[in-house]
Structure 1
Amino acid sequence: MTNATAGWLELCRACVGDIEAVLEELPTRTEREPVLRAGMGGDDTTAIDAAAEAAVVGRLEALGGDFTLVSEELGIRTFGGGGAVHVVVDPIDGSVNAKRGIRFFSLSLAVAEGPTLGDVVFGFVHDFGTGEEWVAERGGGAWLNGRPLDEPLPKESIEILSFEGTTTAYIAESAPALIGIAKRLRVMGSLALSLCHLAAGRVDAVCSLKPARSIDIAAAQLLVQERGLAIELFEDPPFAGGPLDLDGRSRVVAAATPALCEIVAAALQRN
């Protein structure tokens, strides 16, 4: 791991500690669920979202460097002189789970050398339920809890597929199209964590049922790619050209191979 990457990892770990403190200060739905405003990403900003983002932004401000921040609630902000570096943050990926007390949500932070998904050089995802730390460096590999991620890869047929970006209507519409393609479905509530689980071979495919935003996928997709797996924004390819902004332009699919991604994408596009 390079010195620059190690510095970002240290910052991310500090952010985890700050968010853990926020979770203790806002322990139940009563404190976490109130809606404060509309977020720049289009979703309601709840008390837990706002407090977690304030903690992360405070850490980033203290860096004193030049970068562009892309964040769930604040939107796009320039720090210092801006420049090529982009920091893409979702302080609480899986915020519905977080506010309801379901321990399956994460901090997702990516660092890029330019404005697209293909420019991402560092990805960090922390699972606040299990405490697992997922890290990837472009060209340098992927790690789980500080050790190289060398678990068995996903299967080349889909036993378990994770749906994300879900509502009851989306699931009812999409699930029938995948009969005969995926044996089992999981709906867990954090796209970043589902992609991490794919990278670890715990599931065999992941797809979002609504357009994915860069804040949801920028960090975890690097783990997927460093493991040699396939990922695509199948309604607006190519994946590497996806802008680091708050717009959702396409659903995302990821699996062991490009061929499997194409099969899942084709099935979803028939709906």
Structure 2
Amino acid sequence: VFSEESGFTKSFLSDSALTVVLDPVDGSTNASRGIPFSAISCALIRGDELLGGYVGELTNGSTYWSLRGEGAYWNGNQIHVQARERSLSKSVVAVNGYPPRHLGWGQFRAFGSAALELCMVASSQLDAFVDFSYSGLATWDYLAGVAIIEEAGAFAKVIDP
């Protein structure tokens, strides 16, 4: 198990062993303040291969999960990112950190749980998620969400500034 609490770093990960990447409370600031937007986030990897993800919302019981090649699911129903022809000015984008300037989208939201925000992209509730934080998100913050959005037909891209 690789998590914020484990004390392990990526250098401990084996290329052949199955590894669970866990965030027991993604959105811990929200949870500590009684804001109902936090989740358990769990990804399964083997080396660099992302095999699946599970995100369970802690206050309302909503669940998202995926397995490589088996699709993505929200509360047991298969989900796909809806293809939309939408200009950036009409998009709703979730962000982590502060955008450096207005980038042209219609609206943005900062919910505080990257895993859940990525799942909201997978279920087409949001059009995108962008991390603007200076230090970037940790692997356990986003990996399960990435597994889910990829199986739902979206993509994830890490761009170093």
* TM norm structure 2: 0.86
Shift of 1:176: 2.2
* TM norm structure 1: 0.52
Identity of aligned residues (%): 31
What residue number does 1:163 align with? 95
Bigger Rg over Cα: 1
Shift of 1:219: 0.6
Match of 1:129 among 59, 74, 79: 59
Q: How many residues of Structure 1 are paired with residues of Structure 2 in the alignment?
A: 152
Shift of 1:231: 1.1
Match of 1:205 among 128, 134, 151: 128
1:86 match: secondary structure: strand
Distance 1:127 1:224 in 2: 16
Pick closer, same or farther for the CA change 1:130–1:222 going to 2, 3 Å: same
Distance 1:156 1:226 in 2: 22
Distance 1:162 1:215 in 2: 18
| Structure 1 residues 186-232: Cα deviation after superposition (integer angstroms, max 9, x where no partner) | 01000000000000111111011221211011111011111221211
| Paired AA for residue 70 in structure 1 | F
Shift of 1:75: 2.4
What residue number does 1:224 align with? 149
2:115 match: secondary structure: helix
What residue number does 1:56 align with? none
Native 8 Å contact 2:3 2:21 kept in 1: yes
What residue number does 1:190 align with? 113
2:66 match: secondary structure: strand
| Paired AA for residue 40 in structure 2 | L
2:42 match: secondary structure: strand
- Of Structure 1 and Structure 2, the greater helix share is in 1
- Of Structure 1 and Structure 2, the greater strand share is in 2
| Paired AA for residue 119 in structure 2 | C
What residue number does 2:41 align with? 108
Distance 1:85 1:163 in 2: 31
| Paired AA for residue 23 in structure 2 | D
Distance 1:150 1:228 in 2: 6
Shift of 1:142: 0.3
Native 8 Å contact 1:155 1:201 kept in 2: no
Pair 1:138 & 2:68 matched: yes
What residue number does 1:255 align with? none
Distance 1:155 1:102 in 2: 33
Pick closer, same or farther for the CA change 1:175–1:130 going to 2, 3 Å: farther
2:119 match: secondary structure: helix
Segment of structure 1 superposing worse, 223-232 or 182-191: 223-232
Match of 1:214 among 135, 139, 142: 139
Shift of 1:148: 1.0
| Paired AA for residue 152 in structure 2 | R
